[in-house]
Amino acid sequence: MNGSSTPNLYLALVHYPVINKHGGVIASAVTNLDVHDIARAAATYGVRGFYVVTPLLDQVTLVHRLISHWTNGAGAAYNPQRRRALELVRTKENLDDVKADIRGNIGCQALPRTVVTSARNQRPVIGFETLRQMLDEGHPYLLVFGTAWGLTEPLVSAADFALAPVQGPTTYNHLSVRSAVSVVLDRLFGR
């Protein structure tokens, strides 16, 4: 891993723009357990930061209250392991702000390369082994997941890469985003 024991990888969970079941563009509400579960998966697999992306101020307030409870409040004393996970969580209004923040964190001029994930095949995809090799080269990557019925087409098209969808032995492909994030990270970094 290029001298580091953990990958140079960040996650974004997008709540706007995403699509609803009719294909319309919406802003979804933040789900409490998404933040918990994905933060815990991020900590398990060595992800460097997890961005909750929403432009809605009340949702940002909700996430900050949740983080604060578990990192400074009563939750931090009750469950230090949860604190360690939730310390990875940040909020940003959109993906451009996420990318700029990562560039600032790592103190370099290059923006992270973006990789979208989707249960649908919308564009040519790269496999898990390919992404693993790309990560080994050391450049930062941002793995982008959508809530509700998934990322909008323009957002998918604008990404640098799209990752192959997760599949099992059936035609059913409706994992929760919490499950999908965990499976993708395990396929990349599981032992």
Instruction: Note the residues at the interface with its own copies (CB under 8 A).
Output: 1, 5-7, 21, 33, 36-37, 40-41, 43-46, 79, 81-82, 84-85, 166-170, 172-176, 178-183, 185-187, 189-191
Nearer to its own copies, 83 or 99 (CB): 83
Neighbours of 8 (CB within 10 A): 20
Q: State the nearest-atom distance from the C-beta of 148 to its own copies, in Å.
A: 12
Residue pair 91/39 in contact by the 8 Å Cβ criterion: no
Q: State the nearest-atom distance from the C-beta of 114 to its own copies, in Å.
A: 22
Question: Residue 93 contacts by C-beta under 8 Å, 6 or more apart in sequence?
Answer: 53, 54, 55
List the Cα angle 50/56/57 in 5-degree steps: 95
SS3 12: strand
Q: State the nearest-atom distance from the C-beta of 15 to its own copies, in Å.
A: 17
Nearer to its own copies, 99 or 141 (CB): 141
Q: State the nearest-atom distance from the C-beta of 19 to its own copies, in Å.
A: 15
